[in-house]
Structure 1
Amino acid sequence: MIAAFLGYKLYSVLGRRAEHEEEMLGRQVPRPQPRNPQALPGGERGGAAGEQPQSALERALSGVPLGAQRGVREIATADRNFTPALFLEGARGAYGMILEAFWKGDRETLNELCDDDVYASFAAAIDAREDAGESVQNRLIRIEEAEIVSAEYDAPMARITVRFAADIAAMTTDRDGNMIAGSLDDAVESHDIWTFSRRVNAARPDWLLDETGEG
């Protein structure tokens, strides 16, 4: 995981737009609000006058892989403010915010956007990096792709897994500022699979990153 992160509050992090990130998109998996990484999915559900909500949902599902449609439909039924498009917009914002926080060693932001286990992994990696006297100067160049690959609803918990493809420029330096790995001149394509979760009956629509992987 550390290698992947070297190579994302949800305002709903997945709710508000991050003003300092080019690629950060906000409400639904964005803009950071303390211990409320967002509410990834957050937007309002709408449609043409007289249109049935179910009809709008079926149309929204057209871009979701067949294997994830049942879970997305169940989550949308339990949370009427949820839509796949807004969720992905927020997820992209959260992805950038969490990566930046990890690179900067910003434990407070990570604690707000991640569940306890993921936060502990990030914090341990930051501690190891600092103990070694190393620092990273990574930059998220662009998010090429973000797509839902699976979704499940086990009342009241909703979980959605997203695959990200992004270009990242990464460089690691030692305590004296000497480059020991990477280069900011060349971006490397990174592939990550992150899972976000939230209780749909929670007072705030906050989604947390609860699992990370590569793929």
Structure 2
Amino acid sequence: MVALFVGLRLYAVLGRRTGHEQQPVTRPDAVPGSEAPAPITDIAPERSEGSGLVYEDRAATGIRAIVSADPAFDVARFLEGAQAAYRMILEAFWKGDREELAYLVGGDVRASFEEAITERDAQGYKLDNRLIAIERAVIEDAELNGRTARIEVRFDADIAAVTRNEAGEVVAGSLSDAVQTHDVWTFERTLGSDDPNWLLVETDEVA
């Protein structure tokens, strides 16, 4: 799902068909309160929590608006790609790879990441973090404002976090004890623009 060229990475993994996907998911059932099936194919394979929730109810209207404006958008592929982007961004931040982050992150989030990297470098610290597993990923909300699409994804993950000093000694954390994390990341893209990237523009830690 990750494009060969860095500049197209989030475009490739967040909701565009490339010809290498699995078989498309089936048409959803009728929207509650309506008499006809939802006029969008490939919106979600399942809605129940037990079988793998793809999006929350409050995201449905926004998803429909985005698909109507950009028929090539595929919500199931987006969620798969969002998980790949989650890993890519975390690893770039942990390594202090500013160039990589510039292609993946925008707005205040990018500035905050760069500030944290600068402070970390000044202290001589290195992060030896590992993303152990993404336990759950679900689209919590979506909206289309003009041509700007925004999608919020909640990630529940296990991360092993270790901070080392210049000598390589552990000053905080442990690789043997993973920490549960709960975050909502907001991805944004202007539909129809020459820039194909979805950028991470907001992060929130949740309970």
1:35 CA displacement: 3.2
Q: State the partner residue of 1:56.
A: 41
Greater shift after overlay, 52-61 or 204-213? 52-61
**Cα distance in structure 1, aligned partners of 2:4 and 2:176:** 29
AA partner of residue 111 (structure 1)? A
Distance 1:60 1:80, change over 3 A: farther
Q: Does 1:186 align with 2:177?
A: yes
Asked if structure 1 preserves the Cα contact closer than 8 Å seen for 2:104 and 2:199, the reply is: yes
1:197 CA displacement: 0.4
**Cα distance in structure 2, aligned partners of 1:125 and 1:36:** 25
AA partner of residue 34 (structure 1)? V
Q: TM-score, normalised by structure 2?
A: 0.81
Show CA shifts across 1:187-209 (max 9, x none).
11111110000011113532000
Q: Which has the higher contact order (CA 8 A, sep 6+)?
A: 1
Q: Does 1:35 align with 2:7?
A: yes
Aligned residue for 2:159, secondary structure, equals: strand
Asked if structure 2 preserves the Cα contact closer than 8 Å seen for 1:160 and 1:196, the reply is: yes
Where structure 2 has 5 or more consecutive residues not aligned to the other structure, the ranges are: 27-36, 48-53
Task: Note the aligned Cα RMSD (angstroms).
Answer: 2.3
Q: Does 1:100 align with 2:100?
A: no
**Cα distance in structure 2, aligned partners of 1:203 and 1:85:** 23
1:214 CA displacement: 0.5
Q: State the partner residue of 2:31.
A: none
1:118 CA displacement: 1.6
1:32 CA displacement: 6.5
Greater shift after overlay, 53-62 or 173-182? 53-62
Mapping of residues 1-215 of structure 1, within 5 Å: 16-17=1-2, 31=3, 33-39=5-11, 40-43=14-17, 54=39, 56-57=41-42, 62=47, 63-215=54-206
Asked if structure 1 preserves the Cα contact closer than 8 Å seen for 2:43 and 2:74, the reply is: no
Where structure 1 has 5 or more consecutive residues not aligned to the other structure, the ranges are: 1-15, 18-30
- Rg bigger for which structure? 2
Q: TM-score, normalised by structure 1?
A: 0.78
Asked if structure 2 preserves the Cα contact closer than 8 Å seen for 1:35 and 1:112, the reply is: yes
**Cα distance in structure 1, aligned partners of 2:163 and 2:200:** 25
